[in-house]
Structure 1
Amino acid sequence: MDLVSEQPSPSPARRISQRIAAIAESATLAVDAKAKALKAEGRPVIGFGAGEPDFPTPGYIVEAAVEAARQPVNHRYTPAGGLPELKAAIVAKTRRDSGLEIAPEQVLVTNGGKQAVYQTFATLLDPGDEVLLPTPYWTTYPEAIKLAGGVPVDVFAGADAGYLVTVDQLEAARTGRTKVLLFCSPSNPTGAVYPPEQVRAIGQWALEHGIWVVTDEIYEHLVYDDARFVSMPVEVPELADTCVVLNGVAKTYAMTGWRVGWMVGPRDVIKAATNLQSHATSNVANVSQRAAIAALTGDLSAVAEMRAAFDRRRRTIVGMLNDIDGVVCPVPKGAFYVYPSVEGVLGRTIRGRTPTTSAELAELILEEAEVAVVPGEAFGPSGYLRLSYALGDADLTEGVSRIQKLLGEAR
């Protein structure tokens, strides 16, 4: 008798866990990858997809990294939570830029801002906890929330509201399961900047209802016109014990590839998140940390030059997009994105095709105009496009001119 053959067959194993299978691909990175692949095939694609400054990292930062690479001390493991010197630099930078007073024990250095986002939610959330998510949102936020077992709750504000949610909207979305509010100003993807009085009102509302705030401040230096960045725990100091601040060097110093971000928060939260990181990645690459020290302790002159260029491009792209029939583009006050409504274009025929969603329109623009943009579905409802103006002036003008020509054929 073959005893082995009589054993019951196991049910087919799921190859990918439900938790990971449910994650949506980063739409912005997917669009950028497709644009680069088409370029590699020789097609003259212009990409507005990635939120990545086109400037090189300032030279003094690069030189600090080169010197750090020569030092054997940087060839070894260092504390999982970050180099003490970098934590000290973050403390000083936070005081200088936002007026928030913190201690080194309140800082965790992470592998870019995305790790800070995920670890914050993993540390704060239990299964079923709800996170209020002002919409349009950065594409990674809902995925990080769901990975941590949380439930994202969209709170939508459209172009007519300047993409700014109100306290009344947040209150309407609040339930007994609400634990966290995600707040991002200046905003990715819209470029909206909340005025100080609205930041204060939202912070006071969160404090009143015992809701944690996770505030992403990575675009703090990129504000224009009369807009002013303010940090919520500075506007509402009593909120500091239930607030986590996310930041990094990527956008301010053109250091997207160096992968240095951080989270700032109450000591117990930072200690718990550091424990998580000690098992996930250990320390951030030491050479990158040394480069970040140079960035944060240097002056902001290079940052001012980049901001001036972004401001110039902002004015150009808004004007050109608003010249297109059916496109409405609010003027962004921060970051380096525009988020035009294209609802007036949808349902019209362009070169034999009639797009009814912004995803279909983005596909049409890529195929017919060879311009890559990100559809609104990546950030919330359909009917919008996100374009980053962190690319060269010539490419920006050429790319939007192609879009103008194509959409000008809409009937």
Structure 2
Amino acid sequence: MSVTEKFTEALFDGLEECYEEEQKQKIEEMNGLIEEMDEGEFITVFTKDLFNKIHQMIEKEKLSLEDAILLLKQSGYCKELKCFNDYAFSESLLSDRFQKMIFDENEKKKEEKNEKRLIDLCECFALLFEEPVSEELLFIIMPCLLKVASKKEENEEIQKEAEMALLALSNVYTYYEIRRKLYLNEIKAIIRYHQEHHNLTRLAFQSAWQFLINRFFTNISLEEVIMNELHFSKEAARELEDLSKSVDWKRKEEGKGENEAKEVLVIERWLNVIDFYFDSCRSWNRELVGLFCSIVQVFQASRDNYPYTSSQCLCSLRRAAEKRNVEIDGLLKSGAIGAVVEEIQQPTINDDIMWNGLLFFLSISERLKEKTDGETTETKRKELKRKIFEKMEEDGYEDVIAGFHKVFDFLRIQYHYKLSLDFSDYIVNI
């Protein structure tokens, strides 16, 4: 039987007919199967109908809320860790039920309130919900989960609790700006404490940053805090380097152990949050060069056996090249330009790598052709053009681009309208 068949037919379909102890055993088995699922399998299993059925089982007291939470937490953890997109929960009756239960539990008097149940409900909801969260609900979820994540004990149980809370928070987003006083002091304290004491797991630390960068996406005033107070570029660079050292990139993905496979997933989550950062940041910071270096290292290491990770790295470098605040000299010093030239020269190159690489060089070429104000800055621009021209000439870049010229139109139609059909737009001349 396939993973989905085992989950649905052998375990879930008969769940409501079991006694409580057998239910717990089945849920443990289902949680093990969830860890094995890829995105297609996950979406096949976790449908709106399945979530509605869980809602009905709770309603009819054929499944306890505690057992349902065990299953839902594991599904939400898997979905977020592996960056799956599944809107089934958001559209289900179970989502409505959990929202009401969160409000009801929060309104109880202090002596009547079940804090653990409220935390569990908030975590399940935040992990699984893929729509913008209402402001009223945020006022409950954020303080509740930030309180859990702020615990400073370094034992394994507390680390797991903080990881789950921060992972859940990392999935919370809205279309509007959230008041800074609701979260900023707490998340700054969590990040700073980890910087000094290293009390969080790698996934928890990444999730804390993702939560903050998601707020940056709608609140540009956070740039000073993120860039200069908490030093995002420096922290992300160090995390990428440390995680990369613990992965044997020469061994294919299916040969990885559980811990090593999780570290690759955390690297990919870091690359996602770096993309959000590049989209939002407006200022140049020298620490960005170190971040580019770390991305290049992962890019080159993952090329042979991890095409998705490698493609993510190239996408991040392309986003950086497009940003006017990013100094092109920083991309040159980090080795990014040489690494992308080397990549597009590979004999087997897919369309995704090709168009990201072309956009990378198109952005650099366009920016270097722009005149600058002042004699000093214009002299620096010309000197930078010369350095990049020499680097590209040394690596045979122009011949590679000439070889791609016939597919420019196809890539432009299929993948990206910004691709130019003019060969000269990709060339840097002195």
Task: Pick the TM interval, shorter chain.
Answer: under 0.3
More strand by share: 1
Bigger Rg over Cα = 2
TM-score normalized by the length of structure 2: 0.25
Higher relative contact order (CA 8 A, sep 6+): 1
More helix by share: 2
